[in-house]
Amino acid sequence: MKKSVVSRCFMFFLISFYIAIILYVGFAFFHIDTLESFTPAIIFVTVGFVFLYLASSFRVFKKSYLEFVIIIVSVFYSLALDVLNLYFITKLDKKWFILINLILTFIYLGVIVPVYLTSTDD
Share of the chain residues as helix, strand and coil, in percent rounded to the nearest 5:
85, 0, 15
| 120 backbone dihedrals φ, ψ, rounded to 5° | -80, 155
Range of the domain at 71: 2-119
Which residues sit opposite 120 in a β-bridge? 61
3-state DSSP call for residue 120? strand
Full pLDDT tens readout for the chain, 122 residues: 455 778 778 878 888 888 888 888 888 887 877 888 888 888 888 888 888 777 777 665 555 677 778 888 888 888 888 888 888 888 888 899 899 999 999 999 998 888 877 776 55
pTM of the model as a whole: 0.74
The structural domain count of the chain equals 1
| 61 backbone dihedrals φ, ψ, rounded to 5° | -100, 145
User: If you ran DSSP here, which 8-state letter would residue 61 be given?
Assistant: B
| 116 backbone dihedrals φ, ψ, rounded to 5° | -65, -45
